[in-house]
């Protein structure tokens, strides 16, 4: 059960409404009246940005249902505030709440570029595409001021290192020249998350993410610059955005997307109660029906974390969803797979005084 909302906080464009305690904390706090009949001053809850200096920036994984083995996340937490975000539970490792803390207490890694160059420059490093945006969005609002991504992209460009991105942040267009440089050498691909074409629904689900038309513009401009774009219809939520599958694929294809993917909604750990609370606040008449259909895809539970199932779901609901998606994707002429990225040119950039190549 979620704790009650703090009445002294005024929320503006936030996905969560409260702060469930981190699952690793043994202590719980509760608000208690102090006996004074004096109302507190209500204050607007603002985003706080802190920095950290990690010892490494590349995260490794060996998950059998993920198509990459390494990733970079320049930020912890995400101000976009998507209520369904599967990354919310990661804030518990910082002793922070996956609720409001996840979208208001952001940690940035300003030294990411120098750490990256040090790590990929180590003897014995084996090149493979680096994935970005796999946990939290590297182009969330803080990036427009902190500008961590350009440094990372310049390192990848100079070392001829391939990179894949998942984003819904329009600041990616600020770095369009860098993405175009990498793409021209077959070293970059971008996935744009497009959950709905309905601005009102997007505002509810993803309160500080760009509007759907802005994301279509991102696809259009990236494609025109020669960057291969994948539209990511994720997550697909029964009743809410599931009816839009074909419309989203059509709009993204017209904007220039060449590949497409989808994932049914996942509700790991603290995300499930947060999502249920959000449904009760925004769609009370549909809440029970939506959860029943989600559970029909997850073996009767809110979430199924098993490898091979967590990204696909199971049962008739999930099968019909996939069939609709694949049928629409085929009719619209999307490619079956994203382009292969070139790892063959990876090498240290030339330094002053180095012998130049003859060819």
Given pLDDT bands bounded at 50, 70 and 90, which one contains residue 7? confident
Residue 358 has pLDDT above 60, yes or no: no
Among residues 195, 263, 180, which one has the least CA distance to residue 228? 180
Q: What are phi and psi of 260, to 5 degrees?
A: -150, 150
Residue 5 has pLDDT above 80, yes or no: yes
Q: What integer is the mean pLDDT of 200-210? A: 98
Q: What integer is the mean pLDDT of 109-126? A: 97
Given pLDDT bands bounded at 50, 70 and 90, which one contains residue 357? low
Among residues 119, 114, 61, which one has the least CA distance to residue 90? 61
What does the pLDDT read at residue 181?
98
By percentage, how much of the chain surpasses pLDDT 90? 86
Provide the CB-side half-sphere exposure for 111 (13 A, CA): 10
CA distances from residue 239 to 231, 249, 283, 326 in whole angstroms, order as listed: 20, 17, 11, 19
Residue 1 has pLDDT above 80, yes or no: no
Q: Domain 12-19+47-331 carries which CATH code?
A: 3.80.30.30
By percentage, how much of the chain surpasses pLDDT 70? 94
Residue-wise pLDDT tens digits, 236-288: 999 999 999 999 999 999 999 999 999 999 999 999 999 999 999 999 999 99
The predicted model scores a pTM of: 0.93
What angle, 0 to 180 degrees and rounded to 10, lies between the N-to-C axes of helices 315-331 and 245-255?
30
Contact 133, 172 (CB under 8 A): no
Burial level of 145, CB count in 10 A (0-12/13-18/19+)?
Answer: exposed
- C-beta atoms surrounding 235 within 10 Å: 22
Q: At CB < 8 A and 24+ separation, what contacts does 284-291 make? A: 286/239, 286/240, 289/239, 290/237, 290/238, 290/239, 290/240
What angle, 0 to 180 degrees and rounded to 10, lies between the N-to-C axes of helices 212-224 and 176-184?
40
CA distance 192 to 179: 14
CA dihedral 17, 20, 81, 227 (to 10 degrees): -160
Contact 302, 294 (CB under 8 A): yes
């Amino acid at each position: 059960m979620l704790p009650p909302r703090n009445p002294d906080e005024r929320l503006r464009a936030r996905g969560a409404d409260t702060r469930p305690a981190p699952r690793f904390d043994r202590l719980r706090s509760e608000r208690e009246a102090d006996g004074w009949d004096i109302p507190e001053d209500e204050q607007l809850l603002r985003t706080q940005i802190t920095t950290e200096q990690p010892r490494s920036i590349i995260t490794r994984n060996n998950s059998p249902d993920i198509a990459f083995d390494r990733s970079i996340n320049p930020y912890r937490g995400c101000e976009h505030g998507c209520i369904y975000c599967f990354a919310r539970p990661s804030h518990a490792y910082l002793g922070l709440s996956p609720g409001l803390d996840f979208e208001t207490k952001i940690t940035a890694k300003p030294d990411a570029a120098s750490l990256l160059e040090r790590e990929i420059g180590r003897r014995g490093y084996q090149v493979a595409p680096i994935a970005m945006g796999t946990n939290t969005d590297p182009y969330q609002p803080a990036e427009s001021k902190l500008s961590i991504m350009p440094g990372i992209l310049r390192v990848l460009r100079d070392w001829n290192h391939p990179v894949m991105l998942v984003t819904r942040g329009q600041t990616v267009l600020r770095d369009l020249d860098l993405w175009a440089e990498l793409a021209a050498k077959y070293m970059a691909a971008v996935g744009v998350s497009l959950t709905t074409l309905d601005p009102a629904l997007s505002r509810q689900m993803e309160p500080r993410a760009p509007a759907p038309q802005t994301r279509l513009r991102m696809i259009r401009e990236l494609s025109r610059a020669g960057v291969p774009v994948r539209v990511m219809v994720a997550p697909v939520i029964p009743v809410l955005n599931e009816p839009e599958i074909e419309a989203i694929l059509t709009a993204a294809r017209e904007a220039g997307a060449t590949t497409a993917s989808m994932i049914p909604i996942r509700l790991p750990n603290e995300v499930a109660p947060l999502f249920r609370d959000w449904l009760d606040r925004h769609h009370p008449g549909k809440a029970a029906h939506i959860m029943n259909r989600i559970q029909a895809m997850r073996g009767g539970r809110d979430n199924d974390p098993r490898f091979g199932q967590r990204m696909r779901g199971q049962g008739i609901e999930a099968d019909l969803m996939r069939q609709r998606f694949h049928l629409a994707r085929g009719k619209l002429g999307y490619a079956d797979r994203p382009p292969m990225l070139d790892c063959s040119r990876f090498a240290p950039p030339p330094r002053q005084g180095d012998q130049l190549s003859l060819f």
